[in-house]
Structure formats: structure tokens, C-alpha cells
Copies of this chain bind each other. A is one copy, B any other.
Amino acid sequence: MVQLAKVPILGNDIIHVGYNIHDHLVETIIKHCPSSTYVICNDTNLSKVPYYQQLVLEFKASLPEGSRLLTYVVKPGETSKSRETKAQLEDYLLVEGCTRDTVMVAIGGGVIGDMIGFVASTFMRGVRVVQVPTSLLAMVDSSIGGKTAIDTPLGKNFIGAFWQPKFVLVDIKWLETLAKREFINGMAEVIKTACIWNADEFTRLESNASLFLNVVNGAKNVKVTNQLANEIDEISNTDIEAMLDHTYKLVLESIKVKAEVVSSDERESSLRNLLNFGHSIGHAYEAILTPQALHGECVSIGMVKEAELSRYFGILSPTQVARLSKILVAYGLPVSPDEKWFKELTLHKKTPLDILLKKMSIDKKNEGSKKKVVILESIGKCYGDSAQFVSDEDLRFILTDETLVYPFKDIPADQQKVVIPPGSKSISNRALILAALGEGQCKIKNLLHSDDTKHMLTAVHELKGATISWEDNGETVVVEGHGGSTLSACADPLYLGNAGTASRFLTSLAALVNSTSSQKYIVLTGNARMQQRPI
């Protein structure tokens, strides 16, 4: 079972992370935030969750003499993060006679946390707020660090305040009822955080991607009885216990990084900028594609673009860009606005270059008209301690679909130029096969990170052809070949997706494999398209 962990931020152990900690939540708030009035705020979706209803009843039952509990419910969705919703809640609090000792309890995702936090920051010039994040995005990102805000018609999060909550009580039990797309959406910030700060966690995330996607794909709708409203509701249900350790770990590790960064730079004068990796470009896409696209989906695209920008500057290696792109895909996130499923989801809206640049020009990180973007140096490490100035020219190069390539001009004949293209798919897979069939250690650099090479690596491993490890933060793959002597047939079919080169070479290789007493043959298979292609 997972433990209750306490993570310090700005010197206080106020972030508590656990599973099924409803009693701890009620006790902590009532004991450490004494008040005449507690106001639980959430959206109508959360009202349907039995775990929420149980919490409200427990809270009421635990109230000390002289205290009251109010509940305030808003419509779900980003549109509630508005000036109007803020004003309505403020007027409600005033009519109810709430004073400066009021404690707001924000239970919900990023919208609820941001909006309620901002209301708390300006009601009577600031009342206490406790954040109870219920979405993955809110747990790992928006509830941590005291950033609160609302949206305006001219952009997201431009009006807000830094307002540290008294507690952030993270109960991953809430994720049980989180819709699949929201779950995946939250992974964008988890991957971002590992990507800028924690290479080990990034690697751990890579290894657990398929477990994650299997579990969230298994989400079902279930009917539940509402204990407060006496009605039957339908909610989503995910078997969170099937990946409890992975989920707990990824939430906790993300929170630790964010808390550490915020503690060293609460007001985002420099270091806290880094948490915006993927967000400068991501926000521009989001400004156009909202409300159809989710924040994490746009950040996912933004991360790939900003990683490509880092590569364009010669700071990040192509291998690392590919690793980032691959993990995002593995967790079900889009890596380009042109992906078919994503285009359908966002109603085929266009994202013209000039509009993207214009949206980017209003960004809190910018100074005057100069744009800033977080540049990645490698997986787990940023370039510099803050976002970097970038020119519109460089951004155009990255964001455009068209690039003009022309020969070098005016270069003296005696001056050498070296151009390193990305690794070739075909050569990468050939190198892997050869290294596995050879004897001893073979180090391969500039291997292409793609689905094709991933399938090849998996197959080599499954067929026990070689021992594979990584060096230089994923830049070099080390293949310890066994000369073909250890190859043995595997029981499960080798799934090769749509990987043409992998399918072709592995068909020949399969002929070399020794059969075992229990397994006399090997099955190679692929996706629907692969099953039509010639080999």
C-alpha cells in the first residue's frame, strides 16, 4: 500500500499525498484551519462522485460548535474560469456574511483550483484556501505553487495572483472517476516535469507507458446513487488500483520537482520559468484550439515544437527530441496539430503561423515585445536557469510547414562544413540486427528513435538475441551481441506495428532462431496497414 507523504513547499510541509485519505483531509482542515465558515467549492461533475458526497457528509459531521459548512457548485469546464463566475461567488460569500476568517476548500481540477484560489486571494484582500485537486493535471501542476487565475476573452490566466494555499491535500483515489481523456491530459505535465528536471523519472515513465494506457483504456461508465441529491448518476470508473504504485510515484515525483522549483522562485523571476517548457508555443495552440483541445494536449504539441527549437539551436540532440516525442505518443498524447485524431477532435481548426506568433506575443514570461521560450539541453535538464529570448524568425522556422533549403553561399573553398542528418530508420534497424548477431559489445550513436526501431529493439530482446542498455542519457545504445547462439523462439506473437524494415529483417532472422521444446515457430504480426503491405 502507498504511504501518506508530506512534501515541503516554501518551508512548510503542506502538500500531503496519499490514497483514500478522506479522514485525514477533514481532520487536517478542521484542526489546522479553525474558522467560523468553511466553503467547499466544486463543479457539478464532482457532485456526482460518491467519494465527494461521503466527504461532504463527513465534513459536516466533524464540524466543531460555532462553525458552519457552505457548499458552492459551479458549471464544469474552462468557461467557469471567468470574471463572471468570480463575481457571482464573491457576491454569494458577501450575502452569506462570510468574513476574513473564511476558509475556502477548492475540490476539483485546474479550473476549480485556479478560480477558487483567485477568489480566495482577493476576497476581503485574502482568505485562507485549501486545495483538494481531483484531476491528475491539478494534482501535479495547478494546485502546487500558489498560481491562481481566471481567463479573459483575450487569453488564459492573464488575470490572477500568487496565493499560497494553507494545504494541498492530494488523494489519488479521486483519479478513479477521472475521464480517460483528462487522465491522459494530465500526463503532459508529468512528462514535462520529468523532462526538465528528472531524467530517472523520465526513464521510469517510459517503462510504464503501456501499463498506464492499458488501465486508462479500460475505463468504464458506471451508475451510482447520489447520497446527497437522491438520484442515480453515471460516472467514469478506472481501475486505479491496477497501477497504484505507478500512479502514486508519478504524482509524488512531479509534485516534488514542482515544490522544489517554486520554493526557490515563488514569483517566477527566473527558475520557475522552466516549468513553462512546452507552454509558450503550447499556449498559442491552446488559444486557437480551445475549448476543443485540452491544456495538456496543447502542451504536448508545444513541448515537441520547443524541443525542435532547442535542436535547431544545436543545443538538444535529435535523439532526445525523438525520445520526448515517443513517450508522449506512448501516453496517448498528440505531438502535432496535424495528427488525424487530434484534427477531428479540434474540428479541423487551422493554426496559421502568424496567429500563433501573435498569440505568443502575449505571454507573462515575455519582456515587452521580446518572446521567451524554455530551451531543453537534454532529457532531465534545461538550458540555463530561465526561459531564453527567441526571435520570431527562429520560431517561424520551427512552426512552419515549409522550409527553403539552399546551398551554402560565399563559403571559402578551404572551409569545411559538417552536416549531421537524423539517423536513418533503415540503417538504424540494420545496425541493430548486425550488432545483435555479432559477438561482444557494439555501441551505436545517432540511432533513430522511432516506432520502427522501438519494435526492432523489443523483438531483439524478446528473441533473446542480445542484451541492450543505454549510455549518455539515451544518446548511445549498447548492444551486447551473443553471436546468434542464444536466440530462441518466443511464445507470444511479435507485434511490429507498421514497421516495414523491422518486418523485413526479422522475417529472415526468424529463420535462424532455435526452436524450443514448447515453441516450434515464431509469429510476426503488425497493424491493419502492415498486414496489407508487401515484404
Contact = CB atoms under 8 A, between A and B. Distances in A.
Interface of A: 35-37, 66, 83, 87, 90-91, 94-95, 97, 99-101, 118, 121-126, 147-149, 152-155, 158-162, 267, 361-369
A149 B100 CA distance: 14
Contacts of A99: 362-364, 366-368
A493 to B, nearest CB: 54
Contacts of A118: 122
B123 A159 contact: yes
Contact of A124 (B101, B122, B123, B158): B158
Contacts of A158: 90, 94, 123-124
A94 B154 contact: yes
Nearest to A121: B161
A399 to B, nearest CB: 20
Contact of A368 (B101, B152, B154, B367): B101
A122 B362 contact: no
25 contacts: A35-B368, A37-B368, A83-B87, A90-B152, A90-B159, A91-B154, A94-B155, A99-B362, A99-B366, A99-B367, A100-B364, A100-B366, A121-B161, A122-B159, A122-B160, A123-B158, A124-B160, A124-B364, A125-B147, A125-B149, A125-B160, A125-B162, A125-B364, A126-B267, A161-B161
A161 B125 contact: yes
A311 B100 CA distance: 28
Contacts of A124: 158, 160, 364
Contact of A362 (B36, B97, B154, B161): B97
A37 B159 CA distance: 18
Contacts of A95: 154
Nearest to A153: B91
Contacts of A83: 83, 87
B364 A152 contact: no
- Between A99, A121, A125, the greatest number of chain B beta carbons within 10 A of the residue's beta carbon is seen for A125
Nearest to A37: B368
The number of times this chain is found in the oligomer is 2
B125 A365 contact: no
Nearest to A94: B154
A235 B365 CA distance: 43
Contact of A365 (B91, B100, B152, B154): B100
Contacts of A149: 125
Contacts of A162: 125-126
A88 to B, nearest CB: 11
Nearest to A365: B100
Given A121-B161, A160-B125, A362-B99, A94 B368 contact: no
Given A100-B364, A100-B365, A101-B367, A161 B126 contact: yes
A367 B36 contact: yes
Nearest to A154: B94
Given A90-B158, A99-B364, A100-B367, 4 more contacts: A83-B83, A97-B361, A118-B122, A125-B161
A437 to B, nearest CB: 58
Contacts of A155: 94
A36 B121 CA distance: 28
Contacts of A369: 36, 97
Contacts of A66: 368
Contacts of A153: 91
Contact of A91 (B121, B122, B147, B152): B152
Contacts of A364: 99-100, 124-125
A362 B94 contact: yes
- Between A35, A66, A91, A147, the greatest number of chain B beta carbons within 10 A of the residue's beta carbon is seen for A91
A148 to B, nearest CB: 8
Nearest to A269: B100
A153 B91 CA distance: 8
A146 to B, nearest CB: 10
* Cβ-closest 8 pairs across A and B: A36-B368, A94-B154, A124-B364, A125-B160, A99-B366, A101-B367, A100-B364, A122-B159
Contacts of A267: 126
Contacts of A125: 147-149, 160-162, 364
Contacts of A152: 87, 90-91, 94
